[in-house]
Amino acid sequence: MKLYHLKHTEIDLQKWDKSILSSNTPLVFAQSFYLNSTCPNWEGLILNDYETVFPITSKSKYGFKYLPQPPFTSQLGAFGNVNEERLNLFLNYILAQFKLIEIELNASNRFNLNDKYDKKTFIIKYTEGLNYNQNTKRNITKAKELGLTVELIPDKEVLTLSKQKLTPFLLHDLKLSYSIVKKYDMLLSNSIDNHQLIALKVIDQTNTIKAMGHFISNGKHTLFLKGTNFDKKEKSGSMHLLMDYAINYFSDKTTVFDFGGGSNSEGLANFYKGLGGRELTYHILKVNKLPWLINFIKNKR
């Protein structure tokens, strides 16, 4: 087996994406258009002729290269033809190359290093059917009784509407930086260009937007990227209605519906569970071999 570490400009993006989509875990996070948005100039580890690939999302600080997880990305790691030997080959390489690592590997990447931690997300496998709880059903019914409806947002309106309505939520509620929100906008734009974005809005009878959500889908993996409701005090059930529409919309267009996380928030976790989300556990690799002085400076800042 031959392992290559290629710079971004050296990667055959068509072969890369083919490897991702042929994987047992064909996640949108690892597709080239997604990585181009969340980690411009990303690099790649490639085994043989793109049989197995591993995105390298490195950065440099204090003179050291480190390997962080890009924003809006739950799972990366090895894709394509993956087995224990191939995964260990990738892991041994990055452990030798980087002194600071904090990356999330996809759920098929199982390894036995001491530096791993578990994280959970929520997904729906459509082959297992849909199963809403009673609270979710009540909220959907309530939203419909209030006259709320869901509409697709035309591609040409997505960026403008997102900046008007969703950007304040990202900046003030989620406390994201302007630079991270800029990457979010780029992700929306690239997803539209690749025909993989679906944007939804919930409106009332006066055409007032009550909720909005963005979804990225490659025909196998569908991701709920971000979204929120703007009528939280009214408790209208608008977000339940939006998610119900999305889940049913993708039911014949994808295999897995991914809620994109929420395990650290009890409220979000209960919301996803109520919509039939089931827990999926994957591993985070955390390694810190930085000199003590660099760690001291890093922690002070």
Domains of the chain: 3-119+283-300 (3.40.630.30), 132-275 (3.40.630.30)
pLDDT score recorded for residue 292: 53
Q: Which of 43, 52, 40, 70 is nearest to 15 (CA)?
A: 52
Residue 193, classified by CB atoms within 10 Å of its CB into exposed (0-12), middle (13-18) or buried (19+), is exposed
Q: Report how far apart, in Å, the C-alpha atoms of 120 and of each of 25, 39, 75, 101, 259 are.
A: 16, 23, 11, 19, 11
Task: Give helix 238-249 / helix 134-145 axis angle, nearest 10°.
Answer: 100
Give the three-state DSSP class for 286: strand
Q: Report how far apart, in Å, the C-alpha atoms of 28 and of each of 34, 40, 208, 255 are.
A: 7, 16, 31, 13
Cα separation, 13 vs 33, in Å, equals: 9
Task: Provide the CB-side half-sphere exposure for 227 (13 A, CA).
Answer: 27
pLDDT score recorded for residue 267: 85
pLDDT score recorded for residue 255: 96
Q: Which helix (H) or strand (E) segment is 165 a member of?
A: none
Structure tokens at 266: 């009890």
Which is it for the CA torsion 22, 24, 29, 35, positive or negative? negative
pLDDT score recorded for residue 182: 96
Q: Full-prediction pTM beyond 0.75?
A: yes
Q: Which of 17, 64, 18, 7 is nearest to 40 (CA)?
A: 7
Which ranges of the chain have pLDDT less than 50? 293, 296-298, 300-301
Cα separation, 55 vs 286, in Å, equals: 16
Residue 226 phi/psi, 5-degree rounding, is -155, 160
